[in-house]
């Protein structure tokens, strides 16, 4: 029998079927027919995944977070507190709308910014941005079961896996970090946030739900934090004006095979999130905000994305032949890809704290490296032992990709857009003269006096654009001053001091050899074949642009080209995995547009705006939680009156972690005692 109470249905079976789930249907009584007729008998089937108990239904049901179906289903496990929402895997990310559009400044604004370094007045973008979390709850029995099955399959071991639902898993303990990470952002950043977004796991639907309830093999059980308020409809998960949206992996992965436990794979799919602001802040669930922060700590229309690196810790452009567990082989793998595309170089490690990201730039990176992104997404576990090819490290690749695309745009703008002919013609003498060089003498570059990051200039520029100063970030290098890795390429450990008198030298024979006969060839030589030459040419053109702006890079205002075809307007340089495969001539790049002509200068201005960035430093703390002792010392380094802005409490617990859990939970609850409005009381 299927007794109906308050539009809910309880699946009742003999006690030997105690693992069956409680099902709650949302909506009117007629919605029950969506899955089965009330007079149909239900045949019990031994469950495929024994992780939940039969129970009385929730009196206040929760709707499907990702479905417009009014007969959404809520599935709960009252014995553990875990609850899930079924969804159809066929409802892919393509069916769920688009990310919020990138806000491009008006061309008049870009002209002021890049030609003279003047402030853009009269235009202000919408400032609220989204925050995105990745999340792991290894105490969930469904998660444990799927993890054991997939780990056993990947290992290739014979027989069946031994599933220990209580064994600790290093780096994957659930210490309630997500709840307090969200509280920390609400406390210190809420006025600037539009929506919180949580990426969560999903699992195959047990066989009994395919027969008893009418769910198909296409349905997945989407995981949710057990502390969410089930008495609220998901549409009502808000704290003030900040909404909370859950994105299950099966809803945005492309491609998607099964439950994934590969954090690199999850991050590789950030580009597919829908309904998310183009610029967003990304955190792992063990990261916290400790001070009041402002949008300028992450992004402004004036300076672009804010990136934080450790220039003393550099990633080499080659794989480790004997990789160890962790993130370093994916870091190296990513730099190998970057080096094939932009030229070999060490690149600085991305600081392990909240990161500014862009959906449109992630999509562009995917267009360059689709095989690497897809390969990473299809690996259910971290691929730590292979040497070639390995996982992609998206959080490292994106900022490096942005910086290198900006460098590429600068050199292309000058060599092809400004100095080259419509037929890709090139004149070495004209180029040398444009750099201020004498015929047979090298050009010594140094003593650049720029005001881009002068404290008063930064304050004025941000204020006129409608921003507050950063709450806890010092800007140390701006894309408006060129390329930040010149010293790193030479083996240095920091960013260039442009005021240095002997910054670099442009050698004519090396940088402008006599066999250069095309503008695109000159560009590729400077950008990729002799990158130190390209770096120094950038420094020289920045110098000749004066105290601010990038005027010496820009094509003439009256230069136009007729595209070969009418169609979608080109907005980037070639998206190829290796630079040798790109066609960089003017007519090849600007081959299509919706208009009869393309103003080359406008294309360049938009290109430079797309990749603008600033490097910043913020006080932060990275705590290894290995045992009770390290946990006590770690939280002691984070007093409430500290100037530290970001913290990461990294789970490296070995063995019994109950003491660590008690210490961390005590610190979290004392630091952020105010519950979000979507939390259950």
Mean pLDDT of 77-95: 66
Instruction: Note the pLDDT of residue 381.
Output: 81
Whether this prediction's pTM lies above 0.85 is answered by: yes
Bridge partners of 77? 82
Average per-residue pLDDT for the chain: 84
The answer to whether residue 256 scores a pLDDT higher than 70 is yes
**Residue 91: which pLDDT band, with cuts at 50, 70 and 90?**
low
**Residue 296: which pLDDT band, with cuts at 50, 70 and 90?**
very high
In angstroms and rounded to an integer, the radius of gyration of the C-alpha atoms of the chain is 28
The answer to whether residue 169 scores a pLDDT higher than 70 is no
Weakest-pLDDT range from 35-49, 249-263, 390-404: 35-49
Weakest-pLDDT range from 105-109, 426-430, 509-513, 607-611: 105-109
**Residue 425: which pLDDT band, with cuts at 50, 70 and 90?**
very high
Place of tokens 């967003």: 280
**Is residue 467 situated within a structural domain?**
yes
**Is residue 513 situated within a structural domain?**
yes
Q: Which of 118, 214, 208, 197 is nearest to 464 (CA)?
A: 118
The answer to whether residue 431 scores a pLDDT higher than 90 is yes
Q: Which of 204, 178, 11 is nearest to 89 (CA)?
A: 204
**Residue 388: which pLDDT band, with cuts at 50, 70 and 90?**
low
The answer to whether residue 31 scores a pLDDT higher than 80 is no
The answer to whether residue 22 scores a pLDDT higher than 80 is no
pLDDT tens digit string along 356-383?
999 999 999 999 999 999 999 998 887 6
DSSP letter for 435, please: T
d(CA 531, CA 510): 11
The answer to whether the CB of 594 falls within 8 A of the CB of 566 is yes
**Is residue 395 situated within a structural domain?**
no
Place of tokens 């992780």: 51
pLDDT tens digit string along 197-216?
999 999 887 665 566 556 67
Q: Considering its fold, how many domains does the chain have in total?
A: 1
pLDDT tens digit string along 527-555?
999 999 999 999 999 999 999 999 999 99
**Residue 642: which pLDDT band, with cuts at 50, 70 and 90?**
very high
The answer to whether residue 387 scores a pLDDT higher than 90 is no
**Is residue 485 situated within a structural domain?**
yes
Percent of the chain with pLDDT strictly greater than 70: 82
Instruction: Note the pLDDT of residue 316.
Output: 93
Q: Identify the domain containing residue 456 by its residue range.
A: 405-615
Q: Which residue has the higher pLDDT, 332 or 175?
A: 332
**Is residue 438 situated within a structural domain?**
yes
**Is residue 445 situated within a structural domain?**
yes
**Is residue 32 situated within a structural domain?**
no
d(CA 480, CA 459): 16
**Is residue 570 situated within a structural domain?**
yes
Place of tokens 């604004």: 109
* DSSP strand pairing (620-625 vs 504-506): unpaired
Mean pLDDT of 427-434: 97
Backbone phi, psi, residue 672, to 5°: -130, 75
Residues 6+ apart with CB under 8 A from 261: 147, 150, 151, 380, 381, 382
């Amino acid at each position: 029998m299927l007794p109906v109470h308050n539009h809910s249905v309880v699946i009742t079976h003999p006690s030997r079927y105690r693992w069956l789930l409680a099902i709650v249907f949302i909506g009117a009584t007629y919605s029950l027919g969506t899955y089965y007729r009330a007079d149909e008998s239900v045949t019990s089937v031994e469950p495929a995944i024994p992780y939940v108990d039969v129970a009385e239904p929730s009196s206040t049901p929760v709707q499907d977070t990702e479905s417009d179906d009014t007969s959404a289903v809520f599935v709960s496990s009252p014995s553990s507190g875990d609850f899930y929402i079924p969804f159809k895997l066929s409802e892919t990310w393509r069916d769920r709308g688009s990310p919020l559009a990138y806000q491009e400044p008006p061309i008049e604004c870009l002209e002021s910014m890049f030609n003279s370094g003047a402030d853009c007045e009269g235009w202000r973008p919408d400032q609220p941005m989204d925050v995105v979390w990745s999340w792991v709850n290894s105490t969930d029995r469904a998660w444990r079961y799927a993890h054991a099955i997939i780990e056993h399959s990947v290992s290739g071991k014979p027989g069946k896996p031994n599933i220990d639902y209580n064994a600790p898993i290093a780096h994957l303990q659930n210490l309630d970090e997500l709840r307090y990470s969200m509280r920390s952002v609400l406390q210190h950043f809420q006025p600037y946030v539009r929506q919180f977004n949580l990426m969560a796991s999903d699992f195959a639907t047990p066989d009994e739900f395919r027969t008893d309830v009418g769910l198909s093999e296409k349905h997945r059980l989407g995981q949710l934090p057990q502390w969410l308020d089930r008495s609220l409809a998901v549409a009502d998960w808000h704290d003030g004006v900040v909404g909370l949206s859950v994105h299950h992996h099966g809803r945005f992965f492309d491609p998607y095979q099964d439950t994934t436990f590969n954090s690199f794979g999850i991050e590789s799919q950030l580009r597919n999130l829908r309904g998310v602001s183009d610029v967003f802040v990304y955190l792992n669930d063990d990261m916290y905000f400790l001070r009041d922060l402002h949008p300028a700590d992450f992004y402004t229309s004036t300076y672009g994305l804010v990136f934080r690196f450790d220039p003393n810790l550099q990633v080499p452009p080659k794989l480790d032949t004997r990789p160890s567990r962790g993130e370093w082989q994916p870091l190296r793998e990513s730099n190998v890809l970057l080096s094939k595309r932009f030229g070999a170089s060490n690149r600085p490690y991305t600081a392990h704290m909240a990161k500014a990201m862009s959906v449109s730039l992630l999509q562009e990176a995917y267009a360059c490296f689709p095989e690497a992104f897809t390969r990473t997404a299809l690996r259910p576990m971290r691929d730590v032992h292979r040497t070639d090819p390995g996982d992609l490290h998206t959080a490292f690749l994106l900022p490096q990709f942005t910086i290198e695309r900006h460098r590429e745009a600068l050199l292309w703008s000058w060599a092809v857009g400004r100095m080259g002919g419509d037929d890709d013609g090139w004149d070495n003498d004209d180029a040398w003269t444009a750099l201020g060089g004498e015929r047979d003498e090298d050009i010594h570059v140094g003593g650049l006096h720029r005001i881009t990051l002068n404290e008063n200039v930064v304050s004025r520029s941000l204020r006129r654009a409608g921003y507050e100063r950063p709450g806890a970030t010092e800007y140390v290098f701006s894309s408006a001053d060129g390329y930040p890795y010149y010293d790193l390429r030479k083996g240095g450990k920091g960013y260039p001091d442009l005021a240095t008198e002997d910054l670099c030298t442009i050698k004519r024979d090396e940088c402008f050899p006599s066999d250069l006969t095309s503008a695109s060839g000159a560009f590729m030589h400077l950008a990729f074949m002799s990158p130190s030459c390209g770096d120094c040419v950038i420094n020289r053109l920045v110098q000749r642009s004066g105290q601010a702006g990038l005027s010496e890079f820009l094509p003439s205002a009256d230069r136009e080209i007729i595209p070969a075809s009418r169609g979608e307007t080109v907005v980037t340089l070639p998206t190829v995995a290796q630079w040798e495969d790109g066609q960089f001539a003017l007519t090849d790049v600007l081959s299509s547009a919706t208009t009869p002509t393309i103003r080359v200068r406008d294309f360049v201005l938009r290109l430079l705006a797309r990749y603008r960035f600033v490097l910043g430093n913020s006080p932060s703390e990275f705590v290894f939680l290995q045992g009770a002792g390290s946990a006590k010392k770690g939280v002691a380094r984070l007093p409430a009156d500290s100037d530290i802005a970001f913290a990461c409490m990294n789970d490296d617990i070995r063995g019994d972690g109950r003491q660590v859990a008690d210490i961390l939970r005590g610190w979290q609850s004392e630091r952020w005692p105010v519950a979000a409005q979507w939390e259950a009381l």
